[in-house]
Amino acid sequence: MVFSSIPFLFFFLPASLILYYAAPFKLKNHILLAFSLVFYAWGEPVYIILMLFASAVDYTNGRFMDKFGADDRRRRIFLCISVMINLSMLGFFKYADFLVEIVNGLFGSSIKPLGLGLPVGISFFTFQTMSYSIDLYRREVKVEKNYLTYLTYVSMFPQLIAGPIVRFSTVNEELHERTIDWDGFVYGTLRFMQGLFKKVLLANNTGAVWEAIKGMETGSASAATAWLGAMCFTLQLYFDFSAYSDMAIGMGRMLGFHYMENFCYPLSAVSVTDFWRRWHISLSTWFRDYVYIPLGGNRKGAAKQLRNMFIVWFLTGLWHGAAWNFIIWGLYYGVLLALEKFVWGERLSRLPSFLRHLYAVVIVVFGFVIFVFDDMGQLGAYISSMFGMAGNGLFGEEFLWYAANNGLLLAVAIVLAFPFYPFVKEKLKKVGKRGQSLLALGSMAGYVGLLLLTTAYLVNDTYNPFLYFRF
């Protein structure tokens, strides 16, 4: 679809910004809303009706909750209506065919799948609208009485398609009054460019290595090659998804909005718990605040805490897609987090940092192999190769070839997956004015060089979809 390509953003963003900046403040939300609807409708003209319906449902139920402010029973009824409609809509479009597949498998029936296309961004905007209804019921936010303002919140194009999941409480005040200045524009532009560089130069190229290794004849890869491929997919997914978040945060700042950070160098984690504090932060905190804590969290004993953890991680896996591998992936992390919490977490904390990091990386990389294969046969064959059970040994000539031809790319990607740049930046700042001048000149030269290199890649490859669009 058109808006899934980066060149489309190159043309769309300047046009929207020029009109947005030129308009008086009272018209800015209307302009943002108009461009957001065009942005979504350009690629999915039918499913825009779904987004409009979802926003109308939550807005209307929100108004009723506000009307019956002192009657908790009625407020609870309207909350349930809102949540049930949202989950039914998400379940129908995302999981109907999966349910048909399960029923056919269990009962030997031959029910024909509906073959529905997945509306882009439905998992993200559904969670956003639900957060508004729940927070309103909890009296943590005030009702939004202007439907167009609420629709602007739901449809904001910077983060509409793949997050971060922005809660109403985060942008409520800025929907009505925000600062739009030069500093925000500069920061937003640089942050957008950082995301662009990560996507085009790192995610796409590490992804190409992964696709080549994944495309090898089933079971023909050595263990080292299979692990190299898994590492490349991990790097691709991290740089791809964090790039979209960077670009969304950057575009938001250009428009005067402050979205939450969604990644904090997750591949530098030293435990699984630490990884999930750093990866897709807006999703993990959403499940924590709206599922885990309401279920009782860790307040009602170890048994119920384990139950709550497994419910959350089952739902986290299912949120990512209608396939068994996503459920297995979610439960995989549920088991590991439980083991860290109750079995070996304290011992792990006493290990040297390098070993703790190695432990976390191996778990994460293996986990993303589960994540990427929705065909159980392919998943089993790839895991067999990873552990040398496919009969191809630990090393092969193909590993040396991929490592030699992509060594520089992988080295750069691995270094940038760690907080290396912030470390250097902080050190240079402490040197004084000379260090700051050197940092400014180096950054400027770096941005110009990377922009030229990125443009060259875009000229040769105009279709650059983000991986998380499919979720």
pTM: 0.91
Q: Express each pLDDT in 175-205 by its tens digit.
A: 999 999 999 999 999 999 999 899 999 999 9
Between 90-104, 152-166, 284-298, 450-464, the lowest mean confidence (pLDDT) is in: 450-464
Query: Does residue 391 carry a pLDDT above 80?
Result: no
User: Could you tell me if 167 and 156 are in contact, meaning their C-beta atoms sit under 8 angstroms apart?
Assistant: no
Q: Express each pLDDT in 303-333 by its tens digit.
A: 999 999 999 999 999 999 889 999 999 999 9
User: What is the distance between the alpha carbons of residues 295 and 93, in angstroms, rounded to a whole number?
Assistant: 27
With bands split at pLDDT 50, 70 and 90, how would you rate the model's confidence at 27? very high
Name the DSSP class of 145: -
User: Could you tell me if 31 and 23 are in contact, meaning their C-beta atoms sit under 8 angstroms apart?
Assistant: yes
Reply yes or no on whether 320 is catalytic: yes
Query: Does residue 372 carry a pLDDT above 70?
Result: yes
User: Could you tell me if 65 and 135 are in contact, meaning their C-beta atoms sit under 8 angstroms apart?
Assistant: no
Distance of CA 166 to the CA centre of its chain: 12
Instruction: Report, as an integer, the average pLDDT of 211-227.
Output: 87
Instruction: Report, as an integer, the average pLDDT of 64-91.
Output: 92
**Which own/partner pairs from 206-213 qualify as long-range (CB within 8 Å, at least 24 positions apart)?**
206/232, 206/233, 206/235, 206/236, 206/239, 206/409, 206/410, 206/413, 207/232, 207/233, 207/236, 207/240, 209/402, 209/406, 209/409, 209/410, 210/236, 212/402, 213/402
**Residue 123 corresponds to which amino acid?**
S
Report the pLDDT value the prediction gives residue 245, as an integer from 0 to 100: 93
DSSP string, 146-213: -HHHHHHHHH-TTTTTT-----HHHHHHHHHS----HHHHHHHHHHHHHHHHIIIIIIHHHHHHHHHH
Which residue of the set 30, 258, 280, 320 is catalytic?
320
Instruction: Report, as an integer, the average pLDDT of 383-404.
Output: 85
Query: Does residue 388 carry a pLDDT above 60?
Result: yes
Q: Express each pLDDT in 438-467 by its tens digit.
A: 777 777 887 888 888 887 877 666 556 676
User: What is the distance between the alpha carbons of residues 150 and 162, in angstroms, rounded to a whole number?
Assistant: 19
With bands split at pLDDT 50, 70 and 90, how would you rate the model's confidence at 2? very low
Instruction: Report, as an integer, the average pLDDT of 234-250.
Output: 94
| Cα distance between the two ends of the chain | 15
- Joined together, the tokens standing for residue 192 give 């957008």
User: Could you tell me if 193 and 349 are in contact, meaning their C-beta atoms sit under 8 angstroms apart?
Assistant: no
- Joined together, the tokens standing for residue 185 give 């524009």
Report the pLDDT value the prediction gives residue 354, as an integer from 0 to 100: 93
Q: Is the Cα dihedral 144, 81, 296, 343 positive or negative?
A: negative
Rg of the Cα atoms in the chain:
23
Q: What are phi and psi of 74, to 5 degrees?
A: -70, -40
**Residue 233 corresponds to which amino acid?**
F
Phi-psi bin for 121: left (phi > 0), alpha (psi -120 to 50), beta?
A: left
Tell me if residue 448 falls in helix, strand or coil: helix
User: What residues contact residue 299 under an 8 Å CB cut-off, 6+ apart?
Assistant: none
Please give the mean pLDDT across all residues of the chain: 88
User: What is the distance between the alpha carbons of residues 272 and 356, in angstroms, rounded to a whole number?
Assistant: 10
User: What is the distance between the alpha carbons of residues 68 and 445, in angstroms, rounded to a whole number?
Assistant: 59
Residue for token digits 């409009």? 52
Query: Does residue 359 carry a pLDDT above 80?
Result: yes
Candidates 186, 87, 194, 197; CA nearest to 133 is: 87
User: What residues contact residue 398 under an 8 Å CB cut-off, 6+ apart?
Assistant: 216, 221, 222, 225
